[in-house]
Amino acid sequence: MLIGKREVGRAVPLGEHPGSLRQYAEAVIEVTEWARDILGRSQAAMRRFNPDGVIRLVRTKAGVEARLADGPEPTDEKVDAGDATVFAEAGLEGVVDIEEPHDRVVLKPPGSPPNERGEH
């Protein structure tokens, strides 16, 4: 339907319209080099059994957890994590890093400095 020179009633997918809420609602996830390395190794091992598998960052009672999955959930956001295919649960934001012991994945507040890796 046209009103003046503007079309009204046309569906525009969320995120494709300039100034859409999605542009402002997307969370920002940063991934440290250490986390890229660990997530990349985890995915390489997983892909021997499931070539299409992905890593999902999900909320838990303890914080955040990296889980192996067959694919992302519909609301997941893709995360730039180097060679690893990583998706974050909607609404997560901050810095994905690694803590010892056992290369535990953690989500720190946005702008946090990376953890020191030490000797590996």
In a domain, residue 5? The reply is: no
In a domain, residue 12? The reply is: no
pLDDT at site 99 = 94
Q: Minimum mean pLDDT among 4-13, 32-41, 58-67: which range?
A: 4-13
pTM: 0.74
Residue 66 DSSP SS3: strand
pLDDT at site 27 = 57
Angstrom distance (rounded) from CA 120 to CA 102: 12
In a domain, residue 28? The reply is: no
Query: How many separate domains does the chain show?
Result: 1
Give the residue numbers spanning the domain of 101.
Answer: 46-111
